[in-house]
């Protein structure tokens, strides 16, 4: 799989399909995540637990990838996630900007920031 396909598959399976078991084939062991909360290294099992906690808050209705650029093993993405808050059953939007480093058909490193209740213009 090329780096773009790896990233698209990651988003389709994890955030849209909520198939956390797909992480076993989509991330390296360990993988590194850089977010507003800092930098952490995760095994696939640890990442499943981390994302499971996040996914408990919302259910994705639609993923819109507004821009995607590939340079070698790096993928940059700007996306909108249209979701429903599971606590209030109201719509919620997330604007994401992320960079991924892909190694051997798996995401080895990710830099990601998101903002709730906004959407990037397409």
Beta bridge partners of 85: 58
Query: What does the block give as tokens for 16?
Result: 């849209």
Tokens of 17: 């399909």
Domains parsed from the chain with CATH numbers: 3-116 (3.10.450.50)
Q: What are phi and psi of 9, to 5 degrees?
A: -65, -40
Residue 122's pLDDT is: 52
Cα–Cα dist 44/122, whole Å? 33
Q: How confident is the model at residue 31 (pLDDT cuts 50, 70, 90)?
A: very high
Residue 99: per-residue pLDDT: 98
Helix (DSSP H) and strand (DSSP E) numbers for the chain: 3, 6
Whole-model pTM: value is 0.90
């Amino acid at each position: 799989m090329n780096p773009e396909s790896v990233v698209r598959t990651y988003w389709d399976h994890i955030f849209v399909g909520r198939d956390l078991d797909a992480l076993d084939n989509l991330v390296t062991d360990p993988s590194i995540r850089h977010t507003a909360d800092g930098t952490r290294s995760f095994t696939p099992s640890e990442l499943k637990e981390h994302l499971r906690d996040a996914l408990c808050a919302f259910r994705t209705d639609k993923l819109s990838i507004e821009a995607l650029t590939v340079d070698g093993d790096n993928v940059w993405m700007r996306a909108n996630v249209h979701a429903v808050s599971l606590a209030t059953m109201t719509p919620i939007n997330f604007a994401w900007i992320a960079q991924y480093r892909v190694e051997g058909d798996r995401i080895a490193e990710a830099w990601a920031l998101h903002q709730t209740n906004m959407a990037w213009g397409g």
